[in-house]
Structure 1
Amino acid sequence: MAMAKIKKGDTVVVLSGKDKGKTGEVTRALPKEGKVVVAGVNVAVRHKKPSQVNPQGGLERSEAPLHASKVAIVDPKSGKATRVRFETRDGKKVRVAVKSGEVING
């Protein structure tokens, strides 16, 4: 599945939706659902009633998962969105940015 091309810790840019153009780090990868959670992107707001744990109540903000096809890895050289391919270098399978040919850490 294409999901393996995006991993936790990768810097990605959002390609579509309300947060288009925003950049952030992947905090969670959900390969079975084909989704990723990106820090500061797709923030969902929940109204919470006061409870014993949270006597104040109020708004709770958290990042919701995005579909993996809506994000692209940031090229380490140019800083722009790029696709990823796999290559074998020095006997190891590595992820390579298509635009620049740079190896992506991880």
Structure 2
Amino acid sequence: MNSVSDCVKTKLKINDSVVVNSGSNRGKRGKVLKVDRTKGRIIVEGVNKRNKYLKPSQENPQGRMITLEFPIHISNVMYFCDKCKKGTRIGIEITDKSKTRICKSCSKSIDK
């Protein structure tokens, strides 16, 4: 059902530092935990937290509340550049058959 053409293109990867630029979590920074390209969503550490109730079971006879990070749309986050100290777009620089991600504001290489 979901083909390769249905996937959302993004230059964000796991462990990138991002800042939320819209919604109720605007201004919060965190690390990318998961990128779901088919749904166009991203899970950021410490952002969009919700409580979920676990029903009582044999392993957990009392039941309990757990806090989970729920996904937000990829368009609501920007890469956070350590040199610029702000959210920025990501560009790609091609040199000698290798691609490296760069910050659009300061042209600093993101990939080490």
Pair in the same fold by TM > 0.5: yes
The number of residue pairs the alignment matches comes to: 105
Aligned counterparts, 1:67-82, within 5 A: 67-82=73-88
Q: CA RMSD, aligned part only?
A: 1.5
Q: Distance in 1 between matches of 2:42 and 2:85?
A: 20
Q: Distance in 2 between matches of 1:84 and 1:64?
A: 24
**Counterpart in 1 of 2:47?**
41
CA contact (8 A) 2:9 2:37 kept: no
4+ aligned runs moved over 6 Å, structure 1: none
- Deviations along 1:24-56, one digit per CA (max 9) or x if unpaired, are 100111111111111111112112222212223
**Counterpart in 1 of 2:5?**
none
Determine which of 90, 93, 97 is the counterpart of 1:91.
97
CA contact (8 A) 1:76 1:102 kept: no
Q: Give identity over the alignment, percent.
A: 37
CA contact (8 A) 1:46 1:59 kept: yes
Q: Distance in 1 between matches of 2:109 and 2:82?
A: 8
Q: Distance in 2 between matches of 1:94 and 1:57?
A: 48
Aligned counterparts, 1:23-62, within 5 A: 23-62=29-68
Structure 2 gap segments, 5+ residues each: 1-7
CA contact (8 A) 2:18 2:80 kept: yes
SS at match of 2:75: helix
Q: Distance in 1 between matches of 2:9 and 2:88?
A: 14
Structure 1 gap segments, 5+ residues each: none
Q: Distance in 2 between matches of 1:87 and 1:105?
A: 11
When normalised by structure 2's length, the TM-score is 0.85
SS at match of 1:103: coil
Q: Distance in 2 between matches of 1:89 and 1:102?
A: 14
Q: Distance in 2 between matches of 1:79 and 1:90?
A: 30
